Amino acid sequence: MGLCCSLFFCGALDAAVQKPRPAKKRAPAHKSAPARKTKTAVVDQKILRTQVMLDRANYSPGEIDGTMGTSTKRALEAYTKNGGTTDDTTAALVTYKITEADVAGPYAPIPSDMADKAKLTALGYASLQEALGERFHVRPALPKRLNPSAKFLAGEDIQVPNVADAVQPVGPPRGRQSDPANPAVTTVTVRKGTSDLVVTDGAGHTLMYAPVTTGSEHDPLPIGDWKVTGVQKDPKFHYNPDLFWDADSTQVKAVIPAGPNNPVGVVWVDISRPHYGLHGTPEPSTVGKTTSHGCVRLTNWDASKLAALVRPGTKVVFAE
């Protein structure tokens, strides 16, 4: 089935279809209570270095946040199991000068309602912090933690994670691919039990590892062997509430514009199983931690790396 039909169904819409929450009432502040100063938590440099090392080696920890979470532990385990060492001396942080374009955006809040999303011309970043987060593969709050005195203005130098593709376009990861000019010799394996994805070459060498979110009890991952049928970058999303068990009954069909905050992110990899694909997400912090509507969800940067390694005909295995 074609891409547009597939995009009608999947979307990892954990946030997109949730009902609005009632506003919480605030307790009146005591007039004599002194203002509290918020302290910026210190970033664990050892864990940060490990996450950057893994990202550079194409064993993605997901969103870099300075925390040794499940995704980082699994990525490190896979990395060392395949012969990786932790003696990388590459600097974990580098200096980045914020540009006028970075500050200019444009940025705008992203509405939660799908009908309101459909009214926009694009679903870009909501803030400079979010844009920097995607570019440097980090949780949006991390740049501020790394640069507590920064004002994030054009021309300002800040410290950011030294991820491999932060400035240059995403290309095939380093590896011993049998035929670099023919990504069809690669195999993509998604494992439900460990919530991860591995891309291997014809000889079985790992080219890419990344955490993923798969299906739920309502929309289980379709275990079996499939093939890539196409790749689309910056896809539009055709939302049909009739295909989602948890959709609001008042919602209607809508075409959601492209952009990093699109429900399927910046890349859609279509497969031979109708209605299913591998794709990005506007919520990288949820990858590996929540369920999806059957499809395989990655961070936008990992989805882009994956797209560079596959083509129509690439084998895709969904395993327990």
Q: What is the pLDDT along the chain (320 residues), one digit of tens a residue?
A: 334 444 544 543 443 333 333 444 333 333 344 444 445 567 899 999 999 999 999 999 999 999 999 999 999 999 999 999 888 788 999 999 999 999 999 999 999 888 899 999 999 999 999 999 999 999 999 999 999 999 999 999 999 999 976 433 333 344 344 455 566 689 999 999 999 999 999 888 999 999 999 976 767 899 999 999 999 999 998 876 665 555 566 666 788 899 999 999 999 999 999 889 999 999 999 998 766 556 899 999 999 999 999 999 999 999 99
**Angstrom distance (rounded) from CA 251 to CA 118:** 12
> Mind giving me the DSSP string for 184-252?
GG-EEEEETTTTEEEEE-TTS-EEEEEE-B---SSS----EEEEEEEEEES--EEE-GGG-TT--TT--
Please tell me the predicted confidence (pLDDT) of residue 42: 78
What number of other Cβ atoms are within 10 A of residue 301's Cβ?
26
206-211 and 315-319 strand pairing = unpaired
Please tell me the predicted confidence (pLDDT) of residue 293: 54
Single-letter code of the amino acid located at 177: Q
Tokens of 178: 């049998």
What sign has the CA pseudo-torsion 188, 290, 272, 260? negative
Which backbone phi and psi does 191 adopt, to 5 degrees? Answer: -110, 120
**Angstrom distance (rounded) from CA 273 to CA 260:** 25
Single-letter code of the amino acid located at 122: A
Please tell me the predicted confidence (pLDDT) of residue 20: 39
Please tell me the predicted confidence (pLDDT) of residue 40: 52
**Domains present along the chain, CATH in parentheses:** 3-16+169-319 (2.40.440.10)
Tokens of 267: 């890349």
| Contact criterion met (CB below 8 Å) for 110 and 261 | yes
Residue partners of 256: CB distance under 8 A and separation at least 6: 114, 117, 118, 123, 236, 237, 238, 239, 262, 263
